[in-house]
Amino acid sequence: MIKRFVIAGIIVAVFLGGVGYFNLVLKPAMIAQFISKMTPPPATVTADKATTERWTDRVRAIGTLVAIQGVDVAPELGGTVTEYFFESGQDVEKGDKLVKLDTSVEEADLADKKATLQQTLLDYDRQSKLVKTSVVSQSTLDQTIAKRDSAAAAVQHVEAVIAQKTITAPFSGRLGLRHVEKGQYVSPGQALVWLQSLDPIWVDFPVPETAVGLLRIGSVIELAADAYPGEAFKGVVEAFDAKLNQEARMLMVRARVPNPDRKLLPGMFANVAVLAGEPKDVVTVPRTALTYTLYGDSVWVVKEEAKPALPAPTVSSEAVATAAAADATSAVPPEPKLTVERRFVRAGDTQGDRVAILEGVKAGEVVVTSGQLKLQPGAAVKIDNSQTLKPPAELPKQ
pLDDT tens digits, residue range 130-144? 666 766 677 777 777
- The domain spans of the chain are 43-54+281-308+333-387, 59-68+196-275, 103-164
Res. 65 pLDDT band, cuts 50 70 90: very high
pLDDT in tens, 302-350: 888 765 544 555 555 555 555 555 554 444 555 668 888 899 999 888 8
Res. 398 pLDDT band, cuts 50 70 90: very low
Query: What is the mean predicted confidence (pLDDT) over 7-34?
Result: 75
pLDDT in tens, 93-108: 888 888 988 888 888 8
Alpha carbon distances (Å) from 198 to 34, 64, 260, 339: 77, 14, 8, 57
Query: What is the mean predicted confidence (pLDDT) over 143-167?
Result: 84
For all residues of the chain together, what is the average pLDDT?
81
Q: Which sign does the torsion angle of CA 311, 312, 314, 320 carry?
A: positive
Residue 175, Cβ density class (10 Å: 0-12 exposed, 13-18 middle, ≥19 buried): buried
Residues near 51 by Cβ (< 8 Å), separated by ≥ 6? 283, 284, 363
The arrangement of secondary structure in 103-164, i.e. its CATH architecture, is Orthogonal Bundle (1.10)
Q: Are 300 and 50 in contact (CB under 8 A)?
A: no
Between CA 38 and CA 330 the distance in angstroms is 27
- CATH annotation of 59-68+196-275: 2.40.30.170
Q: At residue 388, does pLDDT exceed 70?
A: no
Which CATH topology does 43-54+281-308+333-387 take?
Answer: 2.40.420
| pLDDT: which is higher, 45 or 323 | 45
Read off the amino acid at residue 230: G
Between CA 300 and CA 383 the distance in angstroms is 13
Res. 115 pLDDT band, cuts 50 70 90: confident
| pLDDT: which is higher, 122 or 97 | 97
Q: How far apart are the first and last CA of the chain?
A: 94
Alpha carbon distances (Å) from 257 to 55, 65, 179, 201, 214: 22, 9, 30, 5, 20
Measured at the CA of 10, the angle between CA 7 and CA 15, to 5 degrees, comes to: 125
pLDDT in tens, 261-312: 888 889 888 888 888 877 888 889 998 888 888 888 899 998 887 655 445 5
Altogether, the residues listed in the chain come to a count of 398
Residues near 390 by Cβ (< 8 Å), separated by ≥ 6? none
Which residues in 107-225 belong to E strands, given as ranges? Answer: 166-168, 173-175, 185-186, 193-196, 201-208, 220-225
